[in-house]
Structure 1
Amino acid sequence: MPSGSKMFGQLRPGGRLGWARGATGALIGVALAGLLGHVLPAGHHWPWIVAPVGASAVLVFAVPASPLAQPWSVLGGSMISALAGLLVGHMLADVPTLAVGVAMGLAIAAMTYARCLHPPGGACAVLGALTATSADGSWAVLLLPLGLNVAVLIAVGWLYNNLTGHAWPHRPVQAPPTPQIPWVGTYQRADLDAVLDEWDEVLDVNRDDLDALFRAVERRVARRWEDDRK
């Protein structure tokens, strides 16, 4: 069993991206989103917190380097998917089971096209379809609280992540200059572990998949060298 510091893709107890950091950020973000959700006008059946925001918080605070956790992904993915769900729900109000499936597919297509793929958006699409087919199918019942929750989560995510040592929106690590003398060789798994420890980053890719990718690149470079020498 690998030690905690070597488990790529898992939050570590310490470090600038430890589980405590992510848990604290999510606590603050979701609590504030819910608190401000109570400012919506009384007399309506507004939900003060929308469930998919909890899933968004996991991405924003636990894996802030993920492309799925960036501000536009959170905002666009949530709101576009909710709109897709509401639209489909109103069109297929008599067949809600079909509506949720169509809403899901439409949401994925729309998020992909808008470059804001966000997994919790799938829940927003289903929620939108169910809201549209309910007794009170008003669009505002979902869009107002969801928009407010998401806006607060993004604001807290930006402030908290940057204050705790992680630039958000995420800025990829700049690759070092290519050596003047080309080198074809191989690395050891310990080299990969050492670099991951130096980065102190949580990436949403399995360590074995990353290793396989690097090995494939090595093989391709080696074949190119062999072809050039023929």
Structure 2
Amino acid sequence: MIEFLTSRSAALLPQKVTGHLGWLRGAIGAALGIACAGAITALVLKTGSVGSGNLAFAWLVAPMGASAVLVFAVPASPLAQPWPLIGGNLLSTAIGLGFGQYLGSPLLATSFGVGTAIAVMSLARCLHPPGGACALLCALGATGSEAWGWDHMLPIVFNVIVIALAGWLYNNLTGHSWPHKAKLSPAVRTSPDIPSTHEALEEVLAEWNEVLDVDVDDLDALFQALRRRINLRNSKKAE
């Protein structure tokens, strides 16, 4: 059990405190993003003062915490890009509300809602884990005593838009392009009969039959940079 729990975490490189991908940068960004999302949503919807316990609408929804982790802490992840953030959350919200209103049963609405949300996000190329939480939350809200309607999408819409704008501004100001762009590396010369690195990587991923949380372009750039570094070391040793 211990080996199972630590096998993946041991592979994670420790993050520095500062720097354009230090953990402090991500923590501050997430705090600012959530603060802006809550304050602006409360102001726009005129739900009352922030912190009040008697609001017509929520000024923040819980899945935005998970979205903030992705957008500010791992902004290079394919799951953290603008379209997954916006499309994943909003499509899943609509799906959860729809199933909740149509089925009426919390158990059926949540199970069908989350499953359908995953399918739709995958087909729309906007897979975003917090989207599953949005579908679950809205299915429960629609089948609960408050009987959430379509107007309950509004807080989520404003939350998502503000976090997207905050992520774009903060990530780019702190040295990380967002939307993420793969770092381009000079191509390493290969024999004409050897397939390109990008093509070979796609073949390997297809053979593994796994979904990895990394873009093929990033893998290609990483492999090219690694091969250049190895070639440089070998050439220095040969001198």
- Could you say which TM-score interval applies, normalised by the shorter chain? 0.7 to 0.9
Higher mean C-alpha displacement, 41-50 vs 21-30: 41-50
CA contact 1:63–1:69 (8 Å) conserved in 2: yes
Moved over 6 A (4+): none
Within a 5 Å distance, the mapping from 1:1-230 to structure 2 comes to 8-39=12-43, 40-42=45-47, 45-93=56-104, 95-179=105-189
CA contact 2:121–2:128 (8 Å) conserved in 1: yes
TM-score w.r.t. length of structure 1: 0.73
Deviation of residue 176 (structure 1)? 2.0
Q: 1:14 to 1:101 in 2, by over 3 A?
A: same
Deviation sequence 1:121-163 (CA, Å, 0-9, x none): 0100001101111233233453100000111000000000000
In 1: Cα distance, 2:110 partner to 2:91 partner? 15
Unaligned runs of 5+ in 1: 1-5, 185-202, 219-230
Q: 1:87 to 1:12 in 2, by over 3 A?
A: same
CA contact 1:111–1:118 (8 Å) conserved in 2: yes
Q: 1:117 to 1:134 in 2, by over 3 A?
A: same
Higher mean C-alpha displacement, 68-77 vs 127-136: 127-136
In 2: Cα distance, 1:45 partner to 1:110 partner? 30
Percentage of pairs with the same residue: 52
Deviation sequence 1:45-94 (CA, Å, 0-9, x none): 2001011001000000000000000011000000000111111111110x
In 1: Cα distance, 2:27 partner to 2:47 partner? 31
CA contact 1:82–1:128 (8 Å) conserved in 2: yes
Counterpart for residue 188 of structure 1: none
TM-score w.r.t. length of structure 2: 0.70
CA contact 1:68–1:118 (8 Å) conserved in 2: yes
Partner AA of 1:156 in structure 2: A
Unaligned runs of 5+ in 2: 1-9, 49-54, 195-211, 228-239
Higher mean C-alpha displacement, 75-84 vs 44-53: 44-53
Q: Secondary structure at the match of 1:38?
A: helix
Higher mean C-alpha displacement, 66-75 vs 35-44: 35-44
Partner AA of 1:163 in structure 2: L
Ranked by relative contact order (alpha carbons within 8 Å, sequence separation 6 or more), the top structure is: 1
